[in-house]
A and B are shown apart, each in its own frame.
Chain A
Amino acid sequence: MDEPVLKNLWDADVPAPDPRFVLAVMARAERRRFRRELAMTVALTAAAAALLALVMPSVEFTWREAPYFSNLAILGILGAITFLVPQLWPARD
């Protein structure tokens, strides 16, 4: 049995192009991305909560002593988060 015959036999069972297969791949990729991002968000939220709990006594003290400076610092932190998040996790089309 030569190569062209083998090739013809194999070609006979090549699956037809299937748009549902493409959709299934993209859906699986999206599900996996969603789960990964959800896990990361939960982990980051937990870490932020723990950090806040740790630093809250000193933040509270600073707030009482220098409220103007504290408000500016909070504004700066929120601005930095707003700027950094899209840089770290850019949106995909």
Chain B
Amino acid sequence: MTQDSAEAAWVQRAQAGSVDAFGRLVQMHQQALRAFLRRLCGNVADADDLAQEAFVFAWEHVARFDAARPFRPWLFGIAWRKYRERKRGWLRLLKRESRSVSDETSCASDPGLKLDLVKATSTLPPEQRAAVLLCLGAEFTHAEAAEALALPLGTVKSHISRGREKLAVLLGGSDG
């Protein structure tokens, strides 16, 4: 049994209400999803909380998921939307507290993640950053990333191309 067909079987069992099957899906995707959100967010605790939220949302709505389609882009799409909702909340909170913190630093940064790559990635606009992280960091195809981010394929391709160029400039400069 290939990984895709095994995954489809777990999805179908989860749709029938099996908690065990959904637990297996969480096990299969937790590393990739948490890594994606950590890179997107820049904060381990917020990223893991968002990952949990995304999985819980997926569990509550798995019955509506079309099992003929791949599970991963759907799951990452949920995580992306949760991230954007949370970020809007953070920004509202910051505005209320009248703190002058920029959009990109809305997640407090974690000392463990202060790598050049993290810094360079955080300078990309959110959608560009997400597209780059999915395609270059999580081995998504362009089509899968387009589905997850609900963007046209051409937009995703241009985000990746521009993001890759920016990263090359930023990291090339920091490498000396």
Distance in Å from the Cβ of B48 to the closest Cβ of chain A?
7
Check A90/B27 contact, CB under 8 A, given A1-B167, A25-B56. Answer: no
Does A18 belong to the interface (CB within 8 Å)? yes
A13 interface hit (Cβ, 8 Å): yes
Q: Is residue A86 within 8 Å, beta carbon to beta carbon, of the partner chain?
A: no
Chain A neighbourhood of B60, CB < 8 A: 29, 32
Interface range for A: 20 to 34
User: Secondary structure at chain B's binding surface: helix, strand, loop or mixed?
Assistant: helix
**Number of residues in B with C-beta < 8 Å to the partner?**
35
Q: Evaluate contact between B168 and A1: CB separation under 8 angstroms.
A: yes
Interface-forming stretch among A3-11, A46-54, A56-64, A70-78?
Answer: A3-11
If the complex has contacts A1-B167, A3-B136, A9-B117, are A25 and B35 also in contact, measured as CB distance less than 8 A? no
* Chain A binding surface SS class: helix
Residues of A within 8 A of B19 (CB): 26, 92-93
Please give the distance in Å from A92's CB to the nearest CB on chain B: 4
- Is A7 in contact with B31, judged by CB distance below 8 angstroms? no
Establish whether residues A28 and B52, one from each chain, have CB atoms under 8 Å apart when the complex forms: yes
Contact A29 B137 (CB under 8 A): no
What chain B residues lie within 8 Å of A16 (beta carbons)? 31
CB neighbours of B168 from chain A (8 A): 1
Are the C-beta atoms of A10 and B52 separated by less than 8 Å? no
> Are B17 and A22 in contact, CB atoms less than 8 angstroms apart?
no
What are 25 A-B contacts defined by CB distance under 8 Å? A1-B167, A6-B137, A6-B171, A7-B136, A10-B35, A10-B137, A13-B35, A13-B113, A14-B32, A15-B30, A15-B34, A15-B38, A16-B31, A17-B27, A21-B26, A21-B48, A22-B23, A25-B55, A26-B23, A26-B26, A29-B56, A29-B59, A29-B60, A92-B19, A93-B17
Q: Which residues from chain A sit less than 8 Å from chain B, CB to CB?
A: 1, 3, 6-7, 9-10, 13-19, 21-22, 24-26, 28-29, 32, 90, 92-93
